[in-house]
Chains A and B, each alone.
Chain A
């Protein structure tokens, strides 16, 4: 069973809430930090890396200026505007940050001046955490263009480590593009973290539209309530209108920030401030239990047939 935290907007509370859910479940779960651009699961859970593997994204392309015949066919073939003419020398060069690595220039070149090269595009980690659960995370080298592929590797490794029984908690990246979709592959439940703000609601609404297309089960947690009453109401109404159940609300509280600074998670906070995230996450686990039973029933029925 896999539970993914997503929000659309960045900074909505995905990492904090997913780490708190992992802490609530305990050492049996596996956490997959799929925000490979900005991986903070290791900080939230206190991780020590046990396995570090290099990640290669496949070959990149470059032009050998010595071999370049300055015909310009590569620049004509490139649909991404990644090949520029150097004003001083007149030669062509590939801007690595703009290159999509499609290889069209390789075919178009009249003088075999386009060569491929391999480089490390990031690293994959399997770590032990303070709480005992295993964390799979990764770091993409800045400027790399294949975060979706690295996310898939994180997900696959988490699947292998978790086996059949363990629950996988996925911390998804912001946005609604390629890395997010890769993070949600194989997830049984998506926890929508909706920030009770104008932009938080808008971005979560785009996420909900995507989840509807992807036909995913989802529940929501409204985060940072109590700042603006209108926004709180708007967040609740938005979720009611699309029929997504609310597992709970977490009021904006600087104490939540402080507890993280001391290396703990939101569920460790004493009193009312900790009670809200605890209750919300218990409700999420309730939905997970329901889905697990449903899956077992379906599997049981299939066996009987």
Chain B
């Protein structure tokens, strides 16, 4: 770590349910002992970080995430149809001077508003989700949450990232959504190090490959935590070796951890586990170099 900039660690996986939230929550707890730390929940479709912190108190009011949606102004349209033709999301229907905008699928890119020769649009805010900052003793927790029924997870993720940037903290731990498409990519982008959480199952092995490809494509350093070690027979180590990616932690599977995880309880008293978390955190922070970020 160099300078006074924030080190950003993203916790990702590919497959869901491998233990991203569990690892992220404990990395944040371990980090908060010696650094000002913000735990950022970017799994905005299924935000579960707060579940681990039942005593967390809201530190701010909920901040609505708004997307600027075009609104058709009657009487100005010349019927050219340029708005509908230019919309890449199929959100505009223009028939003979009547323009209908599907505000549920409009991404608010503003292209139609800028293009319209008759200036027949103004813009109104549409709420797609919310962010909220919480505190649990010394740890800051920032949650992004997409509204149910919405599809603009990206807008909520980016709004949460932007809000996180304004928080003065030495370390940010991001809990990312599963998958390798837009939500996961946006959640990982801008991080200095990626902790990939895998489990030794064929499903996880397959999905990890795609995530490694994504992380390598972004040019980010990363390492793998093998969670539920011993639960299955898939060889995560071999894959990591092939990709030239270090295994930076191992969490053995046992029934007690599975039960405690199901109940959503923190594993702070699990000393072997917390030791492993400390190790992962030290490795990640050792590699983090915010000065090397491609886009400051």
Chain B residues, Cβ within 8 Å of A104: 109-111, 114
Q: Is the CB of B264 within 8 A of A199?
A: yes
B179's nearest neighbour on chain A, judged by CB, is A37
- Kindly provide the distance from the CB of B80 to the nearest chain A CB, expressed in whole angstroms: 14
Q: Which listed residue, B86, B232, B255, B295, touches A257 by the CB 8 Å rule? A: B232
Binding stretch for chain A, among B57-65, B203-211, B271-279, B282-290: B203-211
Chain A residues, Cβ within 8 Å of B150: 177
Given contacts A10-B178, A38-B179, A147-B179, whether A198 and B264 have CB atoms under 8 Å apart is yes
Chain A residues, Cβ within 8 Å of B114: 77, 104, 107-108
Is A242 an interface residue, CB under 8 A from the partner? no
Bound Cα distance A175, B146 (Å): 10
Q: Is the CB of A97 within 8 A of B189?
A: yes
Q: Is the CB of B183 within 8 A of A177?
A: yes
Bound Cα distance A77, B89 (Å): 17
Report the count of interface residues on B (CB-CB < 8 A).
63
Q: Is the CB of A38 within 8 A of B110?
A: no
Binding stretch for chain B, among A20-28, A80-88, A156-164, A272-280: A80-88
Is B26 an interface residue, CB under 8 A from the partner? no
Given contacts A103-B86, A175-B183, A203-B48, whether A227 and B14 have CB atoms under 8 Å apart is no
Given contacts A175-B46, A252-B258, whether A9 and B16 have CB atoms under 8 Å apart is yes
Is A202 an interface residue, CB under 8 A from the partner? yes
Q: Is the CB of B261 within 8 A of A197?
A: yes
Is A196 an interface residue, CB under 8 A from the partner? yes
Given contacts A37-B179, A143-B185, A197-B263, whether A257 and B201 have CB atoms under 8 Å apart is yes
Chain B residues, Cβ within 8 Å of A248: none
Q: Which listed residue, A44, A79, A142, touches B108 by the CB 8 Å rule? A: A79
A28-43 at interface with B (beta carbon < 8 Å):
35-40, 43
Bound Cα distance A143, B51 (Å): 29
Chain A residues, Cβ within 8 Å of B185: 97-98, 142-143, 145
- Kindly provide the distance from the CB of A13 to the nearest chain B CB, expressed in whole angstroms: 9
Q: Is the CB of A197 within 8 A of B16?
A: no
Q: Is the CB of B48 within 8 A of A80?
A: no
Bound Cα distance A142, B220 (Å): 14
B13's nearest neighbour on chain A, judged by CB, is A10
B46's nearest neighbour on chain A, judged by CB, is A203
Chain A residues, Cβ within 8 Å of B45: 8, 174-177, 180, 206
Is B177 an interface residue, CB under 8 A from the partner? yes
B187-223 at interface with A (beta carbon < 8 Å):
189, 201-203, 206-207, 210-211, 213-214, 217-218
B214's nearest neighbour on chain A, judged by CB, is A142
Contact with A along B119-132 (1 / 0, CB 8 A): 00000000000000
A46-79 at interface with B (beta carbon < 8 Å):
58, 77, 79
Q: Is the CB of B210 within 8 A of A142?
A: yes
Q: Which listed residue, A43, A100, A254, touches B154 by the CB 8 Å rule? A: A100
Is A209 an interface residue, CB under 8 A from the partner? yes
B217's nearest neighbour on chain A, judged by CB, is A143
Is A15 an interface residue, CB under 8 A from the partner? yes
Q: Is the CB of B89 within 8 A of A102?
A: yes
Chain A residues, Cβ within 8 Å of B111: 102-104, 107
Q: Is the CB of A102 within 8 A of B88?
A: yes
Bound Cα distance A102, B15 (Å): 29
Chain B residues, Cβ within 8 Å of A210: 148-149
- Kindly provide the distance from the CB of B258 to the nearest chain A CB, expressed in whole angstroms: 6
Q: Is the CB of A147 within 8 A of B181?
A: yes
Chain B residues, Cβ within 8 Å of A254: 231
Is B262 an interface residue, CB under 8 A from the partner? yes
Q: Is the CB of A38 within 8 A of B149?
A: no
Chain B residues, Cβ within 8 Å of A77: 110, 114
Chain A residues, Cβ within 8 Å of B68: 79
Contact with A along B219-263 (1 / 0, CB 8 A): 000000000000111000000000000000000000100110111
Q: Is the CB of B110 within 8 A of A261?
A: no
Q: Is the CB of B151 within 8 A of A10?
A: no
Contact with B along A138-159 (1 / 0, CB 8 A): 0110111111100000000000
Bound Cα distance A181, B264 (Å): 28
Q: Which listed residue, A40, A195, A230, touches B263 by the CB 8 Å rule? A: A230
A157-173 at interface with B (beta carbon < 8 Å):
173
Q: Which listed residue, B146, B154, B218, B295, touches A143 by the CB 8 Å rule? A: B218
- Kindly provide the distance from the CB of B179 to the nearest chain A CB, expressed in whole angstroms: 3
Chain B residues, Cβ within 8 Å of A115: none
B104's nearest neighbour on chain A, judged by CB, is A181
Chain B residues, Cβ within 8 Å of A252: 258
B113's nearest neighbour on chain A, judged by CB, is A104
Q: Is the CB of B15 within 8 A of A103?
A: no
What are some 13 contacts across the A-B interface (CB < 8 A)?
A10-B17, A10-B46, A38-B178, A38-B203, A39-B206, A80-B109, A101-B88, A107-B111, A143-B214, A145-B182, A176-B148, A177-B151, A260-B202
Give the interface of B toward A (CB within 8 A): 14-18, 21, 45-46, 48, 51, 68, 86, 88-89, 107-111, 114-115, 146, 148-151, 153-154, 158, 177-186, 189, 201-203, 206-207, 210-211, 213-214, 217-218, 231-233, 255, 258-259, 261-264, 295-296
8 extra A-B contacts, CB within 8 A, seeds A97-B217, A227-B258 = A35-B179, A77-B110, A98-B185, A104-B111, A145-B181, A146-B181, A147-B181, A206-B46
Which 6 A-B residue pairs are closest in the complex by CB-CB distance?
A10-B16, A11-B17, A198-B264, A37-B179, A102-B109, A175-B45
